[in-house]
Each structure stands twice: as C-alpha cells, then as structure tokens.
Amino acid sequence: MWKEWHLPCGVIVVATVAWLLFERSGLPFLTICSDVMLIMIVWLFFRANYAVITNRQFEELPELVLSEEMVNSAAASFRAKVNSILLMAHDITFGKDFRLFFQVVLALWLFSVVGSVVSFFTLAYIGTIIFVTISALYSRHEKHIDRLAGFVHRRFSRQYTIVDDDYVRRPPQCTSIDKDE
C-alpha cells in the first residue's frame, strides 16, 4: 500500500480535512454523518426521478444484505474478545497475576495523573481566554459597562436599604397573646 503513495496520502488529506471541519464546525460527528447521508439520499432520489422523466436507464444500486454467516462470525469474534477481557479482569481482580495487576494499577494511575494535568491546563487555558476576552470587551466598552454597573449598584442599594429598614433594624414584635397574669 505504501508503494503507491497516492492512496495513503489521499486518506491522510481527507482525514485531516474532515477533522478540521469537525473541529471548526462544532457539530457532533453523528450530526454531520446524518446530514451527509440525507443529502446523498435526496440526490439519489432526484437522480432516479430525473432518469424516469428523461427515459434514461438508471443504474441499479446493489442490494446490501448481511448474511447470517457474517453476522454469526462477527458475534462469535466479539464474544471471544469480551470473554478474554473479562477473564483478564477476573485474574487482575483476584490477584492471580500480580505483575499484570501492578501494570494495570500503574497504567490507571498514569492515566489519572495525565488526565488531571490535561484538565488543569485546559481549564487554565479557557480561563485565560475568558479573562482576556472580558478585559478586551471592558476596555472597548468601559463607559457603557461602568454606567450599567452603577445603575445596578444603585438599584441593589435601594432594595437593600428597604429590606434593612423594614426587617433587620426593626425590633421583633411579639405576636403571641399574653395570657392573664
């Protein structure tokens, strides 16, 4: 396959372009796949109807059928893989293979550390972007933001004064009726 470099290079270019489209669009993978399939189905529908209207021969699409043998072999292969993973997990859990147990614990710990570091730096990066964005917006619209903040502060101060005078500073009144003394 690597002797003919056109196909692998094409695959790499298409995969890179697809990845860039997914990253830039912000859409989930399934959404884009369903949109592409919808466009293909509509295009084939119009193409088939156009062929009927113009009396042209429309090439038939091959029937896609899964044989029972193919499904059974795929299920058997999947079952064998899952059973081997479960057997390995059982051996690790009950300590039958200490070396494998130690390797799994070490790998999970490393994944945890790497995940924590990546999470920290991702949050720090996002926080920096948010801070820079807010700073830039504030410096651009400083007068409007200060005026709005002053308005909100005055409204909250007025409401605080009302609550403070009516409920906090007023002495509690006894609402129970005193019985005959």
In a domain, 172, yes or no: no
Burial zone of 22 (CB within 10 Å; 0-12 exposed, 13-18 middle, 19+ buried) = middle
**Number of domains the chain is built from:** 1
Do 58 and 64 contact (CB within 8 A), yes or no? no
Helix (H, G, I), strand (E, B) or coil at 174: coil
The tens place of each residue's pLDDT in the chain, 181 residues long, gives: 446 767 777 888 888 888 787 778 777 777 777 888 888 888 888 888 888 888 887 777 677 788 899 999 999 999 999 999 888 888 777 777 778 778 888 888 888 888 888 888 888 888 888 888 888 888 888 899 899 999 999 998 998 888 888 777 766 666 556 555 4
In a domain, 13, yes or no: yes
Determine the structural domain holding residue 48 and report its residue range.
Answer: 1-59
Do 59 and 52 contact (CB within 8 A), yes or no? no
Q: Give dist(CA 82, CA 72) in Å, integer.
A: 15
In a domain, 161, yes or no: no
State CA 8 to chain mean position distance.
Answer: 30
In a domain, 130, yes or no: no
Nearest to 43 by CA among 61, 62, 29: 61
In a domain, 22, yes or no: yes
In a domain, 109, yes or no: no
CA distances in angstroms from 129 to 121, 126, 133, 134, listed in the order given? 12, 5, 6, 9
In a domain, 136, yes or no: no
In a domain, 5, yes or no: yes
Helix (H, G, I), strand (E, B) or coil at 176: coil
pLDDT of residue 1: 46
